[in-house]
A and B are shown apart, each in its own frame.
Chain A
Amino acid sequence: MKLGQALLDQQVTDRNGELMGKVDGVIVELRKEKPPRVATLVIGGGTAAARVHRGWARWLLRWRRRWGPRSDEPLEIPWSRVLKIGVDVKVDLEAERTPALAWEHWVRDHIIGRIPGA
Chain B
Amino acid sequence: MNKLVEIALGLVTGIGGFLEAGSLATSVQAGASFGFQLIWAIVLGVICIAFLVEMSGRLAAVSKHTLPDAMRERFGIRFFSVPLVVVVLVSFLVLASEIGGVSLALQLITGIRFQWWAPVVALAIWLLLWAHNFSLVEKGASLLGLVTIVFVVGALKLHTPLGEVGAHLLPSMPREDPAKYWFMAVSIIGASVSPYLFYFYSAGAVEDHWDEGHLGVNRIIAGLGMGFGGTVAVAALAGAAMVFHSRGIQIDRYEQIPLVLAEPLGHGGFILFVASLGIACFGAALEIALQIAYLIAQGFGWKWGENIRPRQAARFALVYTVAILLAGLLILTGIDPLRLTVFSMALTALSLPVTVVPLLIVMNDPEYLGDNVNHWISNAAVLFVSVIACVVALVAIPLQFLGGS
Contacts and interface: CB of A to CB of B under 8 A. Distances in A.
Interface of A: 8-12, 18-22, 24, 43, 45, 48, 51-53, 87, 103-105, 107-108, 111-113, 115, 117-118
B302 A21 contact: yes
B73 interface: yes
Nearest to A116: B130
A52 B314 contact: no
Contacts of B317: 112, 118
B81 interface: yes
A113 B309 CA distance: 10
Contacts of A9: 72-73, 76-77, 80
A12 B318 CA distance: 21
Given A52-B77, A113-B311, A117-B131, A18 B318 contact: no
B301 A11 contact: yes
Nearest to B317: A112
Given A87-B63, A117-B130, A103 B309 contact: no
B78 interface: yes
Contacts of B131: 117
B303 interface: yes
Interface string B41-71: 0000000000000000000000111000100
Residue with the greatest number of chain A CB neighbours at <10 A, chosen from B76, B131, B301, B309: B301
A20 B315 CA distance: 12
A2 to B, nearest CB: 13
A71 B17 CA distance: 43
Contacts of B73: 9-11
Interface in B298-350: 300-304, 309-311, 314-315, 317-318, 321
Contacts of A12: 301
A19 B64 contact: no
B77 A48 contact: yes
A20 B301 contact: yes
Contacts of A48: 77, 300
A51 B76 contact: yes
A111 B301 contact: no
Contact of A113 (B302, B304, B314): B314
B301 A21 contact: yes
Contacts of B315: 103-104, 107
A45 B299 CA distance: 12
30 contacts: A8-B76, A9-B72, A9-B77, A10-B73, A11-B69, A11-B73, A18-B303, A19-B304, A21-B300, A22-B72, A22-B77, A22-B301, A43-B301, A48-B300, A87-B64, A87-B65, A103-B315, A104-B315, A105-B314, A107-B314, A111-B314, A111-B318, A112-B314, A112-B318, A118-B130, A118-B309, A118-B310, A118-B311, A118-B314, A118-B317
